[in-house]
Structure 1
Amino acid sequence: MMHPADDAGFTRRTRLLRWTRNVAAGGAIAMVAFLLGVGLVTRTFPDLEKPQTVQLHSELHAGPTAPDDFKGYLALEDRLFAELKSKVYHTLPDATQIFDRYVTGSPSDPARWKIDWDRSRVVIPASHRGAALLLHGLSDSPYSLRTVGDLYLEHGFAVVWLRLPGHGTVPSALTRVRWKDWVTATELAMQRATTLAGNDPLHVIGYSNGGLLALDATLHRLEEPGSRVPDRVVLLSPAIGIPGIARFARWVKLINWLPPFRKAQWQEVHQEIDPYKYSSFPFNASYQCWVGTQRVQNLLMKIRKQKKLRRMPSVLAFQSVADATVVATAVKNRLFDLLPANGSELVLFDVNRKRSLRRFFSPKVGTLSPWNLDQNDRTYTIDLVTNRSPDTLEVVERIQEPGQGTSRVEETGLSWPEHVYSLSHVAVPFPPDDPIYGDGTAPGADPALPLGSLELKGESGQLQIPQSLLYRLRYNPFFGVVRRHIEKIIGDGPSTADAPR
């Protein structure tokens, strides 16, 4: 006869087993539903072409075959781009009328420009007073930080622009890249920048996924005794947190080998018209970025527990309150709120709060409460770039320093452009006069490729270009704020505006 206590224990175990089975069954059903949904949706995508299918074998992969130094990485990159040219690029009649980055001579051909901004680049002024490493974002190229890098050059810094593995070539490269490939390349570039800096300042600057890599590289140096820690970290739209759905992206591997679901590994498939950013985007890229967010967060908490975070360099970050790519508040909640009092500053670009626009915003946009800007125990400065009042398009900076209950106002001399209601994730690092992504009014604007100023109206579903090119802001009308803050941390120094580029 079973003892009552044994009977109760048996009942609990039975309930736990039943609950576990139900959870497992629910998870399996959710996974199957997700995969079927992805498979059915992606079957409507355009046919995959060479940029989505070709394999390039000269790319860096972490492990014993990886180069030992940055010179070796650049040599490997030379072979990679030679392979790209031989396998993918082609010529067509009337190429000047075809928007395809892989058609030689087309408006989207990167070779049209004097400098190939799809590739890594090192520029060393005659007498430099520091070094800066610049890390671009996911699916784009070193071009994204061209202007920021030039700003460092103008102030006497040697600059290393890194092309991260899987980028600048074909979008299919992102189907095979791994987080540790990016980390390996970043480490090689960091070694080069550290050597160039010597005893002078070393800054690391990252945009989007590059911001996550910049933080990862800095944290690893905090953990390693004797390692050179950067003196400053600058982040633009950093991918500290991304939507949780990205973790499920690896599931598509379960079905994308089946002929009917070959497109299932792609979130988007479009014609490749942008010379410096892929239009097609695979699930693997999102998953690898999510892997990075988890590893960086774990490393950050580990270093904080070890009391090593006190050596963390000051961080300057720029983040749009409106950001459909990353979890915008993560830069505050998962990074800045953990930092010591070291002079860090978070610059937030608010939405356009002109009274007449209020009715068009979704309810969640109407409040800044998720940012908890009135937090009393902050160790860093918050700078909110926002309308002077709801009755004007003029923009000011409302700056609240640690321990201060009130904010002070600084003039910017800037205003919201007509018909612009917010910044975007991709807008932050580009000035209005960018020749490709700018507003199209600058003397240096490229009339053949006005990706930042396209204004096309008509029926939906008729174009083969991404919808985001038509409605997503590609430049930052307040880039002057970015410039002023970066110049402040660089400090005054000899101008090298005439240095070779």
Structure 2
Amino acid sequence: MPSDSANALHKDRLSKVLKRIALGLLVLLVMFLVIRGYQSEQGPPLHRWHTWSADEMSVDEIDRASFADYLTREAAIFHDMKLNVTDQLSDDEKTALNRFNAQSPVYPAQFDTDWNRSYILEPEGEVKGAVVLLHGLTDSPYSMRYLAQAYQQKGFVAVVPRLPGHGTAPGSLTKVDWQMWMAATRLAVREATRLAGSNVPLHLVGYSNGGALAVKYSLDTLQNNALRKPQQLVLLSPMIGVTAYARFAGLAGWPAIIPGFAKAAWLSIIPEYNPFKYNSFPVRAARQSWLLTQAMQDQLLHVIRGGTMPAFPPVLTFQSVMDSTVSTRAVVNGFYRYLPDNGSELVMFDVNQAANLRALFKPVLYSAVNDLLPPAPRRYASIVITNASPTTYQTVARITAADQTQEMVRSMHEAWPQDTYSLSHIAVPFPLSDSLYGREPTEKNRYGISFGTISLRGETASLIVGLDTLMRNTSNPFFDYMMLQIKGRIDCSSQSNLPACFKAL
């Protein structure tokens, strides 16, 4: 047996090794923070819209508030923003495409409807249901307008809240957390129930970060009977999982606590030329989105272990195979694999597989859909929108029903635009005709700019925004098909056997 002195010597050596490792890690962390702080200070300057933040309600205040109270505070926030941002701009900041410049064509307050604000759409006739629609991160209620209008036409009361920190100035996202977004979700459900009654179906629609909120709220209802349970969920590009970088995004903001390094609190500082979406992105927003997805995933596993997952509502999801904002794989493996056999359906938009484009693809994209979906049978139906063949832009829907292995193929009216190689995260909620994002806007520049029609050519490194931003697809060529699927689900709301109704669509 080793002597006591030998053991002591071993422990002493181990202690020294651990101290050296800890010191090395500390040195690396300090170097990272110094480099991060230095790099952040080389970027564009911060402006008033980065340093001003909205005085939003706290979680407790939202939980005690009525929707009218929320709208009153919202009006005060927009008034304060005008006084402290718009009215204080320097001459240099009054550029033609600055959404905070009152003379700019993209200034939101000049439009007939400022879609940055919360709104409610009520049907003219009999109320048949209620729906709460939740927009995405850095986004605004604008992205929910087409779905809200579709629900309204079907007799539903549609409540679309502006989530805290959104619709005002990007600096507002430096002061909010995901619990505030959840509180706003609960408030919107209370208002939808007040307007439509509790005896009609309730749907939740969530886009991106709003998708995570819809799923989290639905999980909450399985553990809290005081919360109104939704009958169905509709998700667009849902944020079930995000990149690993988001997990450690908070580290990138640490240098901001040091005077002179305030810009380190931002992952990107970009001119604000979009009237209904932020371009600049703070570290805190990335961190909060990751915390939300972690809380949702932890709760999902807890619900599964508790045996209440069979009561989770049916889900209809639309997801692009190519998505640089959220994890498509997480939608499949981190969410759909756990859903009960209740009529849920996953619609995936493949890349444009036309042969003349394939040479430009990374090889992994050819079979991305097959790699993502587990082998059939599955407890949910899957629909893959893809090319009818490698020689055509025409598309088909490859349908595999729940609990089946045989695939059905249906021809579609929609075709891929010849200059489009995939959808994107941000394209899913918008038709080609959208005036802001559509490639075929019905009223070009209605909101001061039409992103879907921008086609610039020139030398690299000349623009203040990256080419990826301008080349990103911003509208959905399969939007009509998507809406047809959603409307079918709405029509099934009055049926007692939802899975049977869905199957008959």
Aligned to 1:178: 177
Q: Quick one: which amino acid aligns to residue 84 of structure 1?
A: M
CA gap of 1:22–1:183, structure 2 versus 1, over 3 A, is: farther
Map of 1:75 onto structure 2: 72
Taking every aligned residue pair, what percent have the same amino acid on both sides?
A: 38
Query: For residue 144 of structure 1, what is the amino acid of its counterpart?
Result: S
- CA 1:191/1:6 → structure 2, altered by over 3 Å: closer, same or farther? farther
CA positional deviation for 1:418: 1.7
Q: Quote the offset at 1:281 in angstroms.
A: 0.7
The SS at the match of 2:413 is strand
Task: Give the equivalent residue in structure 2 for 1:424.
Answer: 424
Alpha carbons of structure 1 residues 49 and 248: separation in structure 2 relative to 1, 3 Å: same
What per-residue deviation string (whole Å, max 9, x for no partner) do you get for residues 143-185 of structure 1?
Answer: 0111111111111110001100000000011111111111111
1:18 deviates by 6.4
- The separation in 2 between residues aligned to 1:16 and 1:209, in whole angstroms, is 46
> Equivalents in 2 of 1:259, 1:379: separation in Å?
54
Instruction: Name the residue aligned to 2:142.
Output: 143
Residue 168 (structure 2) aligns with: 169
Letter aligned with residue 282 of structure 1: P
Question: Which residue does the alignment assign to 1:155?
Answer: 154
Q: Does 1:53 align with 2:58?
A: no
CA 1:397/1:29 → structure 2, altered by over 3 Å: closer, same or farther? Answer: farther
* 1:310-332 Cα distance to aligned partner (Å, 9 max, x none): 11000011111001111111011
Q: Distance in 1 between matches of 2:67 and 2:10?
A: 59
1:98 maps onto 2:75 in alignment: no
Q: Give the whole-Å Cα distance in 2 for the aligned partners of 1:74 and 1:9.
A: 69
**Contact 1:95–1:105 (8 Å) recurs in 2:** no
Q: 5 Å matches for 1:283-294?
A: 283-294=283-294
Is contact 1:440-1:450 (8 Å) kept?
A: no
Query: Structure 1 residue 12: deviation in Å?
Result: 8.4
SS at match of 1:134: strand
User: 1:30-45, aligned counterparts within 5 Å?
Assistant: 30-45=28-43
Larger helix fraction of residues: 2
Deviations 1:426-453 (A, max 9, x none): 1111110111100134356638411222
**Higher deviation after alignment, 272-281 or 249-258:** 249-258
Specify the SS of the correspondent of 2:36.
helix
Question: CA–CA distance in 2 between the matches of 1:36 and 1:372?
Answer: 39
Q: 1:112, 1:94 → 2: CA distance?
A: 21
What's the CA shift for 1:251? 1.9
CA–CA distance in structure 1, aligned partners of residues 304 and 492 of structure 2: 33
Q: Is the 8 A contact 2:346 2:383 kept in 1?
A: yes
Distance across 2 between alignment mates of 1:308 and 1:9: 52
CA distance in 2, matches of 1:427, 1:48: 29
Deviates more, 1:436-445 or 1:270-279: 436-445
Question: For the Cα contact (< 8 Å) 2:62–2:187, is it kept in 1?
Answer: no
User: Residue 473 of structure 1 aligns to a residue in which SS?
Assistant: coil
* Matching residue of 2:204: 204
Residues 176-206 of structure 1 deviation map (CA, whole Å, 9 limit, x = unaligned): 1111111111111121123334211100001
Q: For each residue in 1:27-58, what CA deviation from the matched residue of structure 2 results, as whole angstroms up to 9, or x when unmatched?
A: 435533443343233222111111111233x3
**Other-structure match for 1:220:** 220
Question: TM-score, length-normalised on structure 2?
Answer: 0.90
For 1:253 and 1:374, locate their aligned partners in 2 and report how far apart those are by CA, in whole Å.
38
1:197-245: per-residue Cα shift (whole Å, max 9, x none)? 4211100001000100111111101111353210011110111000111
- 1:462-481 aligned at under 5 Å gives the runs 462-481=462-481
1:443–1:76 distance in 2 versus 1, CA, 3 Å: closer
Kept in 1, the 8 Å contact 2:117–2:141? The answer is yes
Is this contact kept in 1: 2:378–2:404, CA < 8 A?
no
The answer on whether the counterparts of 1:309 and 1:339 sit within 8 Å (CA) in structure 2 is yes
What is the CA–CA distance in structure 2 between the aligned matches of 1:425 and 1:24, rounded to whole Å? 40
Deviation at 1:25, TM superposition (A): 4.6
Aligned amino acid, residue 72 of structure 1: D
Deviation at 1:124, TM superposition (A): 1.7
Structure 2 CA distance for aligned equivalents of residues 93 and 64 of structure 1: 38
Q: Deviation at 1:97?
A: 7.7
SS in 1 for 2:359: helix
Which shifted more, 373-382 or 129-138? 373-382
Q: Which amino acid aligns with 1:223?
A: Q
In the TM superposition, structure 1's runs of 4+ consecutive aligned residues that sit over 6 Å from their partners are: 5-16, 91-97
Distance 2:178 2:19 in 1: 33
Q: SS state of the match for residue 379, structure 1? A: coil
Judge which range, 104-113 or 386-395, deviates more.
104-113
1:396-443 Cα offsets, whole Å, 9 max, x none, are 111111222221112220111121101111111111011110013435
Q: CA deviation at 1:17?
A: 5.3
Structure 2 counterpart of 1:378 = 378
Kept after mapping to 1: 8 A contact 2:237/2:425? yes
Query: Which AA in structure 1 matches 2:424?
Result: S
The residue aligned with 1:498 is none
Structure 2 equivalent of residue 303 of structure 1: 303
CA distance in 2, matches of 1:27, 1:392: 54
Contact 2:62 / 2:183 at 8 angstroms: preserved in 1? no
The residue identity in structure 2 corresponding to 1:342 is N
- Measure, in 2, the Cα distance between the counterparts of 1:169 and 1:286: 18
Q: 1:107 aligns with which of 102, 105, 108?
A: 105
For the Cα contact (< 8 Å) 1:92–1:103, is it kept in 2? no
Aligned alpha-carbon RMSD (Å): 2.7
- Give the superposition deviation at 1:6: 7.3
Does the C-alpha gap of structure 1 residues 354 and 9 become closer, same or farther in structure 2, counting only changes over 3 Å? farther
Contact 1:454 1:469 in 2 (8 A): no
Unaligned runs of 5+ in 1: 495-501
Equivalent residue runs for 1:328-347 within 5 Å: 328-347=328-347
Q: Where in structure 2 are the equivalents of 1:12-23 lying within 5 Å?
A: 21=19
Give how far 1:63 is off. Answer: 3.5
Aligned match of 2:273? 273
Provide the residue aligned with 2:255 in structure 1: 255
Structure 1 SS opposite 2:456: coil
Residue in 1 that maps onto 2:503: none
SS at match of 1:255: helix
Q: In 2 relative to 1, CA 328–492 (structure 1 residues): closer, same or farther, beyond 3 Å?
A: closer
- Aligned partners of 1:33, 1:357: CA distance in 2, in Å? 43
Distance 1:196 1:459, change over 3 A: same
Matched, 1:387 2:387: yes
Q: Aligned with 2:261: secondary structure?
A: helix
> Does the aligned pair in 2 maintain the 1:433–1:445 contact within 8 Å?
no
Q: Secondary structure at the match of 1:360?
A: coil
Task: Output the CA distance in 2 between the equivalents of 1:74 and 1:218.
Answer: 25
2:476 and 2:404 mapped to 1: Cα distance? 29
Counterpart CA distance in 1 for 2:219 and 2:274 is 34
The correspondence of residues 337-416 of structure 1 with structure 2, limited to 5 A, is: 337-368=337-368, 371-416=371-416
